[in-house]
Amino acid sequence: DAMVIQNPRYQVTQFGKPVTLSCSQTLNHNVMYWYQQKSSQAPKLLFHYYDKDFNNEADTPDNFQSRRPNTSFCFLDIRSPGLGDAAMYLCATALATNYEQYFGPGTRLTVT
Amino acid sequence: QKEVEQNSGPLSVPEGAIASLNCTYSDRGSQSFFWYRQYSGKSPELIMFIYSNGDKEDGRFTAQLNKASQYVSLLIRDSQPSDSATYLCAVKSPYNQGGKLIFGQGTELSVKP
């Protein structure tokens, strides 16, 4: 059974058209993360939620926003996607007791 | 100096051999270390974690940690073509809330039949 689910798996959007990616988890983990990964690069942390507390990385552009309405769901909003935002977006979850992060399958975003 | 360094590879080993993947880290206060396997086009999969000095074995995988040398490694015994992937070393930052991981650039492993 999938424990961290991301939808959609593939997303095509137009330059400047807002897009929302979703992540859900059945693990009841209290920490959720969003990463951006470009080809042949390491995952880059955008932000994370520790329960309801939002933590933004200092170099995450304002164009990226996130919402976590409850423990199970987390959303990544890209307000005005640029060509440079084309990437794999990864959601991960962890328990605060050990911080072992488990990734979802990712959403591949294409910007045309 | 990068916080977490790995040889980018590619590392090529014959089927059945031992693959040795290495990682060094710069923050001496780091306590938790993780190895992820990532197949091309897929997401990272957690395969090993280690918190204490020494060896930790799980099936064909052994993680080794030497905090004095700030070095962590992953050994894969009896390598199989299905082990061909990029292996990411990740170190949990001791200074941030929320378990932020610092990733290395990954080592590409190729196991030849």
The residues near A109 (Cβ < 8 Å, ≥ 6 apart) are A11, A12, A13, A19, A21, A78, A81, A85, A86, A87, A88, A89
Question: Does the pLDDT value for residue A1 go beyond 90?
Answer: no
Chain A contact for B98 (CB, 8 A cutoff): yes
Question: Does the pLDDT value for residue B26 go beyond 80?
Answer: yes
**Range in A15-19, B7-11, B12-16, B25-29 with the lowest mean pLDDT:** B7-11
Chain B residues lying within 8 Å of A39, measured CB to CB: none
Average pLDDT over residues A66-94: 97
Q: How far is CA A26 from CA A20, A64, A75, in A?
A: 20, 25, 15
Chain B contact for A96 (CB, 8 A cutoff): yes
Residue type, B27: D
Burial class (CB in 10 A: 0-12, 13-18, 19+), B112: exposed
Question: How many other C-beta atoms can be found within 10 angstroms of the C-beta atom of residue A99?
Answer: 18
Question: How many other C-beta atoms can be found within 10 angstroms of the C-beta atom of residue B92?
Answer: 24
> Which of B41, B43, B100 has its CB closest to that of A45?
B100
Give the length of chain A: 112
A18 backbone dihedrals φ, ψ, rounded to 5°? -60, 145
- Which pLDDT score, from 0 to 100, does residue A29 have? 94
B99 and A99 within 8 Å at the Cβ level: the answer is yes
A103 and B100 within 8 Å at the Cβ level: the answer is no
Please give the Cα distance from B24 to B29 (Å, whole number).
13
Q: What is the pLDDT of residues A31-63, one digit of tens each?
A: 999 999 999 999 999 999 999 999 999 999 999
Quick one: what percent of chain A has pLDDT higher than 90? Answer: 94
Q: What is the pLDDT of residues B47-105, one digit of tens each?
A: 999 999 999 999 999 999 999 999 999 999 999 999 999 999 999 988 766 788 999 99
pLDDT band at B43, cuts 50/70/90? very high
Residue type, A12: V
CB pairs under 8 A between A and B: 53
Chain A residues lying within 8 Å of B100, measured CB to CB: 45, 48
Whether the ω angle into residue A81 lies within 30 degrees of 0, i.e. cis, is: no
Q: Per-residue b/e over B71-86, b at no fewer than 16 CB within 10 Å?
A: ebbbbbeebeeebbbb
- Which pLDDT score, from 0 to 100, does residue A98 have? 87
Residue type, A102: Y
Chain B contact for A105 (CB, 8 A cutoff): yes
